[in-house]
């Protein structure tokens, strides 16, 4: 940009193409006179904070930020998530084996502030690890500070709902060859009464033990015997053409992944391969944890680009939700967890619901879930919407991202790429809160899932992150 460019370049040479911001009626006369007028459905940006709005304006079309975001997007899209292994968490994350450490979903939280379902999951994990003999013993242990807690995200791991992970639980390993990055998630327990939803009981504990003793080793042997690791990007891309959005609907992807492994599992019957196949036959959520780990891997690659405003994590612990931003280091920007607007199982209602919980919203940050809602007509019915509404959500989310996925395509929108690279600038500018598809846990410990629906990432996370963002110097300033 030269110091003094030509005055009012181009203004008087043609019919202006007008964008109207503010009083709607002003759009009429120029339009009637033959100008193209785009009416902006405007509202005060930055949740009405003029000072933050002014800071935001200085980041609009900023060359350093645009370049950083393009770099972050390229890194995210460049990741090829390969499922290579299943191993006990304690082997992959040594601290889990060395101390009484439990990982949990969402941003950091201490025992005293944890919600009911997460407390229940902590109790279940303490029982599983043999740290306590009874639920009350486990609670006393946690209350006494004898258990350390850390977010899954701090160990490149993601866990759905309560996301509580202990040393003996098997984790799936996803790797990107080019960068050498790895990410982990636990194995999905299925639907209904699950530890991740805060359900407790013999049935829950028995399944967890079986998963560690039989399912994990069988899967490990099966995946190890394949000619090459499973490319989860291909599975996801196919599943999006088959009605999944790979957050709240994983039916097709789960079937595809099971098909990939079934012969190998059958060959390892002695380790539990046939039991595994029986288990997978009923588990429509099986792929969720793979979708999450693959998303986490991609966003890990996109994290840490200086000046990038791309969100690289969104996670909820049932009390707080938080985001991380590529150019803002390891800080969490948090807000109170939002309620979930959804449908409930018989006998339950909104009063029973825990606020938004789980690391699974990492999928939205990778262009899946709510961002890919246009791919999943079935789940739209489940949350009370229409296919038209689902298309609209995906279109709206595309106004908040820096780009689109090259491989993940949305049939409902003429196979356009799903929106990827949530940009805090755009969220704060438009006042649109990102849409998340999610399950609903009962707020009391020990009960489990009671429904599913849609929720939003609260604006506060984004305004706080933007407040922390420094405007990079600009050439010519």
Which positions touch another protein (CB under 8 A)? 1-12, 14-30, 33-35, 38-45, 47-48, 50, 53-54, 56-58, 60-62, 388, 392, 395-396, 399, 425-426, 429-432, 476
Cα 74–chain centre separation: 19
Which residue number, 53 or 304, has a Cβ lying nearer to another protein? 53
- Residue 454 near residue 380 (C-beta atoms within 8 A): no
How near is the Cβ of 262 to another protein at its closest, in Å?
41
**Residue 315 vs 428, nearer CB to another protein:** 428
Q: Which is nearer to another protein, 62 or 193 (CB)?
A: 62
What's the min distance (Å) between Cβ of 30 and another protein?
5
Question: What six digits make up the tokens of 404?
Answer: 């689109």
- List C-alpha distances in Å: 452 to 2, 87, 335: 55, 30, 21
CB of 360 to another protein, least distance (A): 25
Is 264 or 432 the residue whose CB approaches another protein more closely?
432
Q: Which of 149, 90, 132 is nearest to 317 (CA)?
A: 149
Q: What span, in angstroms and rounded, lies between the C-alpha atoms of 187 and 208?
A: 10
Q: How far is the CB of 26 from another protein (least distance, A)?
A: 6
**Nearer residue to another protein within complex by CB, 44 or 143:** 44
Token code pair at residue 413:
């929108």
CA torsion sign, 277 to 283 to 284 to 290?
Answer: negative
> Cβ closer to another protein: 46 or 161?
46
Give the residue among 345, 340, 246 at the shortest CA–CA distance from 293: 246
Q: How far is the CB of 428 from another protein (least distance, A)?
A: 10
Are 328 and 207 within 8 A, CB to CB?
A: no
Provide, rounded to whole angstroms, the least separation between the CB of residue 459 and another protein.
8
Task: Tell me the C-alpha distance between 443 and 123, whole Å.
Answer: 15
CA 21 from chain centre, in angstroms, equals 33
CA angle (77 as vertex; 74, 79 as ends), nearest 5: 110
Q: Closer to another protein at the Cβ: 356 or 429? A: 429
Tell me the closest approach of the beta carbon of residue 314 to another protein, in angstroms.
20
In the bound state with another protein, the residue whose beta carbon lies nearer, of 179 and 395, is 395
What does residue 214 show for φ and ψ, rounded to 5 degrees?
Answer: -120, -50
CB 325 within 8 A of CB 302: no
Q: How far is the CB of 411 from another protein (least distance, A)?
A: 16
Which CB atom, from 22 or from 349, has the smaller least distance to another protein?
22
Of residues 34 and 130, the one with the C-beta less far from another protein: 34
Q: Using CB atoms within 10 Å of the CB of residue 222, give its burial: 0 to 12 exposed, 13 to 18 middle, 19+ buried.
A: buried
Question: Edge to edge, what strands does the sheet with 435-441 contain?
Answer: 341-344, 449-456, 435-441
Decide: 373 and 390 in contact? Cβ < 8 Å: yes
Distance (Å, rounded) from C-alpha 237 to C-alpha 252?
Answer: 11
Torsion of CA 370, 374, 378, 380, to 10 degrees: 60
Separation CA 39–CA 410 (nearest Å): 27
Nearest-angstrom CA–CA distance, 266 and 276 = 9
Shortest distance, position 426 Cβ to another protein, whole Å: 7
Q: How far apart are CB 424 and another protein at their closest, in Å?
A: 13
The secondary structure of 240-257 as a DSSP string is HTTT--SSS--HHHHHHH
Identify which of residues 123 and 310 has a Cβ nearer to another protein in the complex.
310
For the chain, what's the residue count? 477
Residue 342's beta-bridge partner residues?
Answer: 453
Q: How far is the CB of 373 from another protein (least distance, A)?
A: 13
Shorter beta-carbon distance to another protein: residue 41 or 110: 41
Cβ 299 to another protein shortest distance, Å: 23
Report whether 284 contacts 251 (CB < 8 A).
yes
């Amino acid at each position: 940009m030269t110091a003094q460019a030509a005055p009012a370049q181009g203004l008087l040479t043609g019919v202006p193409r007008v964008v109207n911001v503010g009083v709607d009626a002003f759009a009429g006369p120029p339009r009637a006179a033959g100008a193209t007028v785009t009416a902006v459905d405007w509202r005060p940006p930055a949740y009405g904070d003029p000072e933050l709005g002014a800071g935001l304006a200085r980041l609009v079309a900023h060359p350093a930020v645009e370049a950083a975001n393009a770099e972050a997007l390229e890194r995210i899209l460049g990741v090829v998530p390969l499922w290579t292994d299943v191993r006990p968490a304690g082997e992959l994350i040594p601290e889990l084996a060395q101390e009484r450490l439990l990982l949990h979903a969402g941003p950091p939280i201490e025992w005293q502030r944890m919600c009911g379902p997460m407390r229940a999951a902590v109790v279940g994990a303490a029982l599983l690890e043999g740290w306590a003999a009874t639920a009350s013993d486990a609670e006393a242990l946690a209350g006494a500070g004898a258990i350390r807690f850390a977010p899954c995200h701090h160990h490149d791991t993601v866990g759905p709902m309560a996301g509580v992970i202990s040393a003996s639980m098997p984790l799936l390993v996803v790797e990107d060859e080019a960068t050498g990055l790895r990410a982990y998630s636990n194995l999905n327990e299925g639907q209904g009464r699950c530890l991740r939803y805060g359900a407790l009981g013999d049935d829950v504990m028995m399944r967890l033990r079986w998963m560690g003793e039989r399912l994990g080793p069988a899967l490990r042997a099966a995946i190890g015997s394949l000619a090459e690791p499973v490319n989860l990007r291909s599975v996801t891309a196919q599943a999006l053409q088959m009605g999944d959005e790979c957050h709240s609907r994983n039916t097709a992807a789960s079937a595809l992944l099971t098909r990939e492994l079934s012969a190998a599992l059958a060959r390892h019957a002695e380790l539990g391969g046939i039991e595994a196949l029986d288990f997978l036959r009923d588990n429509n959520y099986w792929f969720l944890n793979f979708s999450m780990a693959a998303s986490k891997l991609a966003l890990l690659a996109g994290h840490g680009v200086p000046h990038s405003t791309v969100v690289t994590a969104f996670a909820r612990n049932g009390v707080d939700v938080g985001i991380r931003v590529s150019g803002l280091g390891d800080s969490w920007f948090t807000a109170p967890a939002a309620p979930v607007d959804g449908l409930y199982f018989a006998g339950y209602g909104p009063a029973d619901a825990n606020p938004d919980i789980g690391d699974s919203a990492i999928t939205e940050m990778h262009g899946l879930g709510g961002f890919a809602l246009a791919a999943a007509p079935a789940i739209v019915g489940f949350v009370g919407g229409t296919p038209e509404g689902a298309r609209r959500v995906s279109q709206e989310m595309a106004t908040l991202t820096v780009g689109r996925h090259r491989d993940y395509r949305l049939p409902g929108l003429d196979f356009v790429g799903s929106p990827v690279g949530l940009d805090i600038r755009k969220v704060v500018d438009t006042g649109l809160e990102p849409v998340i598809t999610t399950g609903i846990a009962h707020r009391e410990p020990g009960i489990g899932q009671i429904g599913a629906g849609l929720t939003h990432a609260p604006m506060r996370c984004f305004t706080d992150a933007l407040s922390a963002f420094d405007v990079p110097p600009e050439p010519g300033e």
